[in-house]
């Protein structure tokens, strides 16, 4: 009989996340009952939002309880089924958490088509990050041809899609990323017009040079000092879809946003958002993303850790920007 492995939240981080905050456990694996199915998890998605779920501070939704399985999306395969809608061999995605297997009654599981794209893509460019990019850039940011779009965490799962979608729509696109490798990738591989390396120590100057006509849409994944710098470049009636504040996750060093007056002077619209509030536009977004992937117009890069036991370390690395592209864990 197979044993399931799970990663539990062992304790809440005090400041930076450490591997001590997680615990790997073995639990017995039941067979599916009537109306149930069993999913083998092939990939686990690691995403910045998980950091917020580890705290007990107010968040979008309920946080992870101590000794509970860490929250997260997986992509996998149905390996046993007593369920009318799913059969063995179906490829699925769902929010099954950091574990190797899950029993399900089918709710929240979505069947995906691996003839269009590899299974793991449904955790990234064709999944939550891709939808997040589309919603922020298009539904909230209303990016138009000829406008300047800036995106932070530019080489990441969300940022890389934001920039490429903006290029497809005729925008000028400037990325912000950490280090020459990521910046080079944004320009050479993803086709951004420029990319500012925030680790180079000349953030304000480099940003100014890269945005001679100011900024119309800033897709913000990071908050903090980078937001403050971009606020000096915003145009009148510009928009800031606020997708994440990864720079502020490890609590101790909160950055007060000093250039707040720019919101008034430039009549900026800022909207914090989470993709699950925008279900009405998912079909349109998924159709456009799928078409672009099929036509080879959306490049996509993954950072793959091997084995569930490496998930905590990979997650910690991602929070520090050590990943390069969408971070997943290969479980099989």
Residues that bind a second copy (CB under 8 A): 52, 58-60, 223, 227, 237, 242-245, 248, 254-258, 260-261, 263-274, 277
Task: Specify whether the CB–CB gap between 323 and 314 falls below 8 A.
Answer: yes
> Which residue, 26 or 56, is less far from a second copy as judged by CB?
56
The CA-CA-CA angle for residues 294, 149, 300, to 5°, reads 30
> Which residue, 85 or 142, is less far from a second copy as judged by CB?
142
Give the three-state DSSP class for 134.
helix
> Which residue, 28 or 256, is less far from a second copy as judged by CB?
256
Task: Specify whether the CB–CB gap between 160 and 301 falls below 8 A.
Answer: yes
Helices (H), 4-103: 49-53
> Which residue, 267 or 294, is less far from a second copy as judged by CB?
267
Minimal distance, residue 182 CB to a second copy, in Å = 23
DSSP structure class, residue 281: G
Torsion of CA 152, 219, 260, 230, to 10 degrees: 50
Minimal distance, residue 274 CB to a second copy, in Å = 6
DSSP string, 157-168: HHHHHHHHHHHH
> Which residue, 25 or 269, is less far from a second copy as judged by CB?
269
> Which residue, 94 or 224, is less far from a second copy as judged by CB?
224
- Nearest Cα neighbor of 53 from 40, 41, 66, 43 is 66
Minimal distance, residue 34 CB to a second copy, in Å = 37
> Which residue, 181 or 265, is less far from a second copy as judged by CB?
265
Give the three-state DSSP class for 250.
coil
- Nearest Cα neighbor of 165 from 142, 199, 196, 194 is 142
Minimal distance, residue 58 CB to a second copy, in Å = 6
Minimal distance, residue 279 CB to a second copy, in Å = 14
Minimal distance, residue 220 CB to a second copy, in Å = 9
Minimal distance, residue 37 CB to a second copy, in Å = 33
Task: Specify whether the CB–CB gap between 315 and 64 falls below 8 A.
Answer: no
Round the CA-based radius of gyration of the chain to a whole number and report it.
20
- Sorted by sequence, the CB contacts under 8 Å of residue 68 that are 6+ apart come out as 8, 9
Minimal distance, residue 72 CB to a second copy, in Å = 19
Measured from the Cβ of residue 294, the count of other Cβ atoms closer than 10 Å reads 11
> Which residue, 39 or 153, is less far from a second copy as judged by CB?
153
Torsion of CA 167, 154, 315, 96, to 10 degrees: -20
């Amino acid at each position: 009989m197979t044993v399931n492995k799970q990663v539990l939240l062992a304790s809440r981080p005090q400041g930076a996340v450490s591997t001590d905050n997680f615990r790997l456990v073995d639990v017995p694996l039941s067979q599916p009952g009537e109306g149930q199915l069993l999913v083998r998890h092939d990939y686990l998605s690691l995403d910045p939002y998980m950091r917020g779920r580890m705290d007990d501070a107010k968040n979008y939704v309920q946080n992870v309880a101590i000794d509970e399985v860490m929250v997260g999306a997986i992509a996998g395969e149905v390996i046993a089924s007593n369920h009318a809608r799913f059969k063995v061999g179906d490829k699925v995605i769902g929010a099954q958490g950091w574990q190797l297997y899950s029993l399900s009654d089918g709710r929240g599981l979505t069947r995906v088509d691996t003839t269009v794209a590899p299974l793991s893509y449904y955790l990234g460019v064709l999944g939550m990050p891709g939808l997040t990019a589309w919603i922020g850039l298009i539904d909230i940011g209303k990016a138009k041809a000829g406008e300047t779009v800036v995106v932070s965490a530019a080489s990441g799962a969300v940022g890389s899609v934001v920039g490429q979608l903006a290029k497809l729509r005729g925008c000028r696109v400037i990325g912000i990323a950490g280090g020459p490798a990521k910046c080079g990738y944004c320009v050479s591989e993803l086709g951004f017009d420029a990319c500012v390396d925030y680790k180079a120590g000349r953030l304000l100057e480099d940003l100014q040079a890269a945005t001679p006509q100011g900024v119309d849409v800033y897709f913000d994944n990071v908050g903090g000092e980078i937001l403050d710098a971009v606020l000096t470049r915003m145009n009148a009636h510009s928009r800031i879809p606020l997708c994440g504040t990864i720079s502020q996750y490890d609590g101790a060093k909160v950055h007060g946003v000093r250039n707040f007056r720019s919101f008034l002077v430039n009549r900026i619209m800022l909207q914090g958002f989470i993709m699950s509030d925008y279900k009405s536009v998912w079909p349109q977004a998924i159709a456009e993303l799928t078409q672009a992937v099929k036509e080879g117009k959306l490049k996509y890069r993954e950072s793959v850790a091997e084995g569930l036991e490496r998930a905590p370390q990979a997650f910690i690395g991602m929070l520090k920007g050590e990943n390069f592209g969408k971070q997943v864990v290969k479980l099989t």
